[in-house]
A and B are shown apart, each in its own frame.
Chain A
Amino acid sequence: MAYKDMKVLVVDDFATMRRIVKNILRELDFKEIYEAENGAAAVKILESQEVDLIVSDWNMPKMTGLELLKWVRANDKTKHLPFLMVTAEAQKENVVEAVKAKVSNYIVKPFTAAVLAEKLEKILPQD
Chain B
Amino acid sequence: MAGSENSLHIARSLLDRLANGVVAGPDDLMGIGECLNILEELEQGDQGLPESWHGPIATIKGLFNRIILEESKDPEADWLQIQSLLRQLAEGGVAPDHERGKDLPPQGEEPPAGESPGGVPGPGEEMPEEREPEKVHLEDPELIRDFIEEAKEHLASIELNMISLEADPRDREAINAVFRPFHSIKGVAGFLNLKSIHELSHEVENLLDEARSGAIDVTEGVIDIVLHAVDILKVLLSELEAALGDGRAELSANLVGAFLKRLRSFDPREERPREREKVPKVGEILVEKGVADPDRVETAARSARETGKKIGEALVEQGAASALDVAGALREQRRIKEGAASVRVDTQKLDNLVDMVGELVIAQSMVLQNPGVQAIKDQKFQKDSVQLRRITAELQRISMSLRMVPIKSTFQKLIRLVRDLSRKSGKNVRLEMRGEETEIDRNMVEEIYEPLVHMVRNAIDHGIESPDERERVGKDPQGTIYLTADQKGGNILIELQDDGKGLDAERIREKAIAKGLISPEDNLEERAIYELIFHPGFSTKDEVTDVSGRGVGMDVVRRSVEELRGKLEVSSVPGHGTRFELKLPLTMAIIDGMVICVGTERYVVPTVALRESLRPSKDAYLTVQGSQEMIKVRNQLMPLIRLHELFHVEPRFRNPWDALILVVNEDQKSYCLLADEIIGRQEVVIKSLGSALRHVKGISGGAILGDGKVALILDVKGIVSTYEEGGDNGFDRQRRVA
Q: Which residues of A line the B interface, CB within 8 A?
A: 12-17, 19-20, 23, 57, 59-61, 88-90, 92-93, 95-96, 99-106, 109-110, 122
Contacts and interface: CB of A to CB of B under 8 A. Distances in A.
B511 interface: no
Contacts of A88: 183, 186-187, 205
B143 A109 contact: no
B30 A19 contact: no
Given A15-B150, A16-B147, A109 B187 contact: yes
B617 interface: no
Contacts, number: 85
Nearest to B34: A102
Interface string B8-32: 0000000000000000000111101
B180 A101 contact: no
A77 B226 CA distance: 43
Contact of B180 (A13, A19, A96): A13
B184 A102 contact: no
B531 interface: no
Contact of B143 (A16, A92, A122): A16
B177 interface: yes
B299 interface: no
Given A13-B184, A109-B191, A122-B27, A19 B143 contact: yes
Nearest 5 CB-CB pairings of A with B: A110-B190, A14-B184, A99-B33, A110-B191, A16-B147
Interface of B: 27-30, 32-34, 36-37, 40, 65, 68-69, 117-118, 143, 146-147, 150-151, 154, 176-177, 179-180, 183-188, 190-192, 202, 205-206, 209
A91 to B, nearest CB: 9
A61 B184 contact: no
Contacts of A19: 143, 146
Given A16-B188, A110-B187, A102 B30 contact: yes
Contacts of A57: 187
B183 A59 contact: yes
Contacts of B179: 59
A16 B146 contact: yes
A61 B178 CA distance: 11
Contacts of B183: 59, 88
A92 B28 CA distance: 17
B118 to A, nearest CB: 6
Contact of B150 (A14, A89, A99): A14
A100 B150 contact: no
Nearest to B154: A14
Given A88-B187, A90-B205, A103 B36 contact: no
B187 A17 contact: yes
A100 B33 contact: yes
A90 B202 contact: yes
Nearest to A111: B191
Contacts of B202: 90
Nearest to A93: B69
A103 B29 contact: yes
28 contacts: A12-B184, A13-B184, A14-B150, A15-B146, A16-B146, A16-B150, A16-B188, A17-B184, A20-B191, A59-B184, A61-B180, A88-B205, A89-B117, A90-B206, A96-B65, A99-B30, A99-B36, A99-B68, A100-B33, A102-B33, A103-B29, A103-B30, A104-B29, A105-B27, A106-B29, A110-B190, A110-B191, A122-B27
Given A15-B146, A106-B29, 17 more contacts: A14-B154, A19-B143, A20-B192, A23-B143, A57-B187, A59-B179, A59-B183, A61-B180, A89-B118, A92-B69, A95-B68, A99-B33, A99-B36, A102-B30, A103-B30, A105-B29, A109-B190
B562 to A, nearest CB: 39
